[in-house]
Structure 1
Amino acid sequence: MPESKIIYILAIESSCDDTSAAVLQNNIVLSNVVANQKIHEEYGGVVPELASRAHQQNIVPVVNQALAKANIDKNQLSAIAFTRGPGLMGSLLVGTSFAKSLALGLNIPLIEVNHMQAHILAHFIKEEPMSPPTFPFLALTISGGHTQIVKVADYFKMEILGQTLDDAVGEAFDKSAKILGLPYPGGPLIDKYAAKGNPLRFEFPKPKVDGVNFSFSGLKTSILYFIQRKTKENPNFIKENLEDICASIQHTIVAILMGKLKKAVKFTGIKQVAIGGGVSANSGIRKALQEAESNLGWKTYSPKFEYCTDNAAMIGIVGYLKFLNKDFSTQDVTAKARYII
């Protein structure tokens, strides 16, 4: 798409428990500020009511910080982009209401963004020496709330080829960590311990699901029963085998993801594969993709770590692309907890 003039986009992300604001100059990120909500750690997961309250407290200082870091005055902004969905309704309402009010006050366009599209299009943020995928490509979106394989024909022409029938892969990681007694969020901890473990030490069943759809609920149950059985035999089983358990769990989950990706590549003939979402930071899936480049002739794309988890920069790049198309929202727009690509 042509870049006819300098465009400044303020982006706001509030789909779950991170309040984030970013400023983009065209497709270049000037600032990307994220306020995490530590309060959920003591509950072992995100509490929606607490999340929405924290967003209300965080959104003004986060936006101010993003503008200050970008050295931009609010009157220089060309448009406000915000996450409309999917996500937690209470959290989305905070970001949506703030974005609508600010756009109205500044008399500039308002741009709604699909959170899952943003995870995919984060690859088009201009970052040297990284280059974006060319169309068409396959996108594997993996997070705490979603697991999808998407065929991407253009910026806004996407088709879901397969998705989870029950739990998302990020939830499978976090629930497995909880079974092992690890704190929330446990996915990164499984990745950390897995680095020192034997991935073939323990075998877990892989769900049999048709096509390129996923299922993780059965895997979580099998891990739970396995740990219960082993700790009954040996109360110190987890402590004595933690690294091998984590490595085996991660190996199984990555094998499930890669198995479905291979099917999708064979089905479509598309060998360009990009990943996005919080779980795309996982070292196991990144290593598996690198091996696929060498062994299968794929071209793979992994986002920078700061663009893996929920962040406003990815909302901003979608806002920029939509701005070029003059694809603006009205003040009647409302948040959508369920928002399909």
Structure 2
Amino acid sequence: MKVLAIESSCDETAAAVIEDGRVPRSSVVASQVDLHAKYGGVVPEVASRQHLRNLVPVITEALAAAALTLDGIDAVAGTKGPGLAGSLLVGYNAAKAIAFGRDLPFIGINHLEGHIYANWLVEGPEPQFPALCLVVSGGHTDLVFMRSHGQYERLGGTRDDAAGEAFDKVGRLLGLPFPGGPHVARAALEGGPTKLHLPRAWMHGTFDFSFSGLKTAALHAVREEQHRVEDLAWEFQEAVVDVLAGKTSRLARELGARNVLVAGGVAANLRLREELQRRCPVPVRIPPPKFCTDNAAMIGAVAGHRLALGERSPLEEDIFTTNNWARV
């Protein structure tokens, strides 16, 4: 089954052709990073208008790269949410229109479930169940227990800032370019341990996270003007990674998970990858960086598996219809 997938939840316009939920025949992403950099963050109205400009060229390129036309597509998938409403509407409605016009099956996919299924785009054996999923991105930080395809239980999540959001905000405090996360990681490579120690919010007794206090502590450290940017970046990154890797490894051990699946943009962070691999008691699967950040290939991976189970989405559904993907 060849699925044309479209993703437009934030500021990347993406399309991909995925075969049988595992094989990326193509994956095209048009980034808006340069467009939003002058604002220091994503401007929703600007993003949605740029999606309108990018969408047809991106879909055309994805089909060409897969050596296909719409005649060779078996189904269409679109990101349903969560995300920016204006951005989601562009890609989701385009996907529905293609499905309607070509009389093809259509399915709406949750963006976070897509991040998890990026692990099915990795060559080699499929992930083994049960699996513990760490979803860590700019808008989300969640620990989800996955018993099988489509069977999830959310066991913990952030109570305030997501890890990626904290990275971006601290990057701004340090005077680093947008988006802050990758630049904090690069600066940390030139830093190291000093007398500075930023707090770790362990939230004992739960598998929840909190990064707002860490962000505030970083702000105070910046205002002291006693530390190099590189050392501040190093300590901040260590604090985030310590908690993420520590809680994930402990929960994987308690649950008897067979795999740990890492998902989301922050999964591209090399320090997080190293610590998860070192601490977790079971194999850790992490997609290549191109499938960690927002892309349509991951949406097509979920769609392939859900369509194979006979699932379809009514074309009258919109992005505001409840999509309770993390269900038991």
How high is the TM-score relative to the length of structure 2? 0.94
- Preserved contact between residue 140 and residue 148 of structure 1 (Cα < 8 Å): yes
SS at match of 1:43: coil
Task: Indicate how the Cα distance of structure 1 residues 339 and 42 shifts in structure 2: closer, same or farther if over 3 A, else same.
Answer: farther
- Preserved contact between residue 249 and residue 276 of structure 2 (Cα < 8 Å): no
Aligned match for 1:185, one of 179, 204, 219: 179
4+ residue runs over 3 A deviation: 336-340
SS at match of 2:107: strand
Task: Indicate how the Cα distance of structure 1 residues 338 and 257 shifts in structure 2: closer, same or farther if over 3 A, else same.
Answer: farther
Q: Does 1:90 align with 2:86?
A: yes
Alpha-carbon deviation of 1:243? 1.8
Any idea what the Cα deviations from partners look like across 1:7-59, whole Å, max 9, x if unmatched?
A: 11100001111000001122210110000012111111111111111111111
Q: 5 Å matches for 1:129-148?
A: 130-148=124-142
Task: Indicate how the Cα distance of structure 1 residues 243 and 201 shifts in structure 2: closer, same or farther if over 3 A, else same.
Answer: farther
Q: 5 Å matches for 1:299-338?
A: 299-336=283-320
Alpha-carbon deviation of 1:270? 2.1
Stretches of structure 2 that go unaligned for 5 or more consecutive residues are none
SS at match of 2:234: helix
- Work out the number of aligned pairs and report it: 322
Matched residue, 1:150: 144
Task: Indicate how the Cα distance of structure 1 residues 337 and 327 shifts in structure 2: closer, same or farther if over 3 A, else same.
Answer: closer
Give the superposed CA RMSD: 1.6
Aligned match for 1:116, one of 112, 116, 121: 112
Matched residue, 1:253: 240
Task: Indicate how the Cα distance of structure 1 residues 221 and 337 shifts in structure 2: closer, same or farther if over 3 A, else same.
Answer: farther
Task: Indicate how the Cα distance of structure 1 residues 337 and 253 shifts in structure 2: closer, same or farther if over 3 A, else same.
Answer: farther
Matched residue, 1:169: 163
Q: Distance in 1 between matches of 2:322 and 2:169?
A: 23
Alpha-carbon deviation of 1:200? 5.2
- Preserved contact between residue 15 and residue 92 of structure 1 (Cα < 8 Å): yes
Task: Indicate how the Cα distance of structure 1 residues 199 and 83 shifts in structure 2: closer, same or farther if over 3 A, else same.
Answer: farther
Q: Does 1:61 align with 2:57?
A: yes
Alpha-carbon deviation of 1:271? 5.1
Matched residue, 1:3: none
Alpha-carbon deviation of 1:193? 1.5
Q: Does 1:215 align with 2:228?
A: no
- Preserved contact between residue 199 and residue 250 of structure 1 (Cα < 8 Å): no
Q: Distance in 1 between matches of 2:283 and 2:114?
A: 21
Task: Indicate how the Cα distance of structure 1 residues 199 and 300 shifts in structure 2: closer, same or farther if over 3 A, else same.
Answer: farther
Q: Distance in 2 between matches of 1:215 and 1:338?
A: 26
Tell me which amino acid in the other structure corresponds to 2:177: P
How high is the TM-score relative to the length of structure 1? 0.91
Aligned match for 1:77, one of 73, 80, 90: 73
Matched residue, 1:39: 35
- Preserved contact between residue 86 and residue 336 of structure 1 (Cα < 8 Å): no
SS at match of 2:190: coil
Matched residue, 1:20: 14
